Each structure stands twice: as C-alpha cells, then as structure tokens.
C-alpha cells in the first residue's frame, strides 16, 4: 500500500461548510474513490490549512479519481470554499513522507513489529477492533492462573571421588581430637593399668633391719665418745 499526502488551503470562514459536505459525502463519489484504488482518506486541519493523507493501491489512483465525472462535479462544489491559484485551480502541494510506523497496539507493549507495507488499512482496522473487543471482554483475566511453584528442597551437590576421600580424612582427624574430659578418663585408665609394686621379700627386710641396727650402734658409740671427752 502506497501513502500519498497533500496540502490545501481553505478560504476564511469556509471550514464549517467544508466539514458539512464531507460529513455527507456522496455515495457515488465513495464508490468512485474505491474503484480508483484509494483505500483511505484522512484530512487534518490547522487554521486554514488542510492536510490530506491517503493510502492507495498504485501511483495512478489519484489521477483516475480526478479525471472521473463524479469528482469533477464534486470539485465544482468545493471550489468556492478552497483557496485557488492564479490559474483558477485549487492550490495543493504534495507532501514527502519522512517516517511511518505500524504496530499492533492495544494499550500495551507489543512484541510484534509489523512492516508498514505488509498490512492494509482494513487489516489494521480489524486488528484494532479485535484488541478493543478482547479488552472489553477482559480476556486477559479469563486465563487460568499459573500454578504456584512449590518450594523444592535443595538437592545435595554431587561430590567428586577426591572430595569423598578428603571428607573421610577430615572425619578421622576430627575423631582423634577428644574433649578434655575424655583425655582425663584416658589418663585415669592408663594409671589403673600400671603394675603395682610387689611386696619386698625376706632378704630385703633383713638387709633393711641390719642397716637400721648399724645406724643405731653408730649413734650409741658416738654418744659414748662425747661423754668421755666431757669427763
């Protein structure tokens, strides 16, 4: 689809009459516009300036319409309302297209970007009507809510063989480290395991008695000597 745009200029105080005619456009003129290959016509106004935007099937669409009998009659009705050139023809100028974008807009963000040349105005209107209808029905609220995700227990990470060996070693070393109470218990156990001293035999008793007797005899002799010296 090709887009064409023109500028025209109204005479002062002619806007109301221009709008009245276009609100009651002739049915035969609409049929001729359709036969010429013009899909849509939109007119915007600012002060006395008019901006006509159209979508056409081929470049010759407007030439076909302007040369038709019904449009010539329509031009005679519009001529008193329009600003004319010196040669008596309606002053109009073609506009160059700078930018155009077509989206699947329904009041939200659309993930689809539609090429401007892939959709006809009828398709665009149908898509807009569908989006409005679905919004009025509240389709987005009819969908079943997604099931709530049940919390899963964290699974233990897979341990490599080397890590298993390291874990065993650390476990053994941890077992070796005992608490102070256990150490005391072990010491007591070692003390109880030590062999008790055997009772001394008869020979050792006799030797001990002899040494005691010798010591006492030596003391007595020492006392006698000391008494003799004093005398």
Catalytic residues: 22
Phi first, then psi: what are they for 78, rounded to 5°?
-80, -25
**Contact by Cβ (8 Å): 131, 112:** no
Three-state SS for 133?
helix
Q: What is each CA distance from 152 to 53, 146, 155, 210, in whole angstroms?
A: 60, 17, 8, 91
Give the C-alpha separation, 79 to 90, whole Å. 7
Question: Counting Cβ atoms within 10 Å, is residue 33 exposed (0-12), middle (13-18) or buried (19+)?
Answer: buried
Query: Is 103 strand, coil or helix?
Result: strand
- Residue 6 pairs in a beta bridge with 52, 94
**135 Cβ contact partners less than 8 Å away, ≥ 6 residues apart:** 106, 107
Nearest-angstrom CA–CA distance, 28 and 168: 97
Q: Rounded to whole angstroms, how far apart are CA atoms 127 and 26?
A: 28
């Amino acid at each position: 689809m090709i887009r064409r745009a023109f500028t025209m200029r109204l005479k002062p105080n002619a806007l109301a009459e221009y709008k009245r005619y276009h609100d009651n456009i002739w049915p035969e003129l609409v049929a001729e516009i359709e036969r010429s290959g013009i899909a849509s016509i939109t007119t915007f106004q600012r002060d006395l300036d008019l901006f006509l935007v159209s979508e056409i099937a081929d470049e010759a669409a407007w030439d076909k319409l302007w040369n038709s009998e019904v449009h010539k009659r329509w031009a005679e009705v519009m001529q008193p309302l329009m600003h004319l050139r010196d040669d008596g023809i309606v002053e109009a100028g073609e506009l160059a297209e700078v930018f155009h974008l077509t989206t699947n807009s329904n009041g939200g963000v659309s993930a689809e970007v539609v090429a401007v040349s892939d959709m006809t105005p009828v398709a665009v209107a149908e898509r807009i009507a569908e989006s409005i209808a679905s919004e009025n029905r509240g389709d987005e609220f009819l969908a079943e809510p997604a099931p709530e995700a049940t919390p899963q227990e964290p699974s233990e990470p897979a341990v490599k063989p080397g890590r298993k060996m390291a874990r065993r070693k650390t476990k053994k070393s941890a077992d070796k480290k005992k608490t102070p109470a256990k150490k005391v218990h072990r010491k007591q156990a070692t003390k109880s395991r030590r062999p008790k001293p055997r009772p001394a035999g008869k020979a050792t008793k006799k030797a001990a008695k002899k040494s005691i007797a010798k010591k006492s005899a030596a003391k007595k002799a020492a006392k006698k000597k000391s008494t003799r010296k004093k005398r």
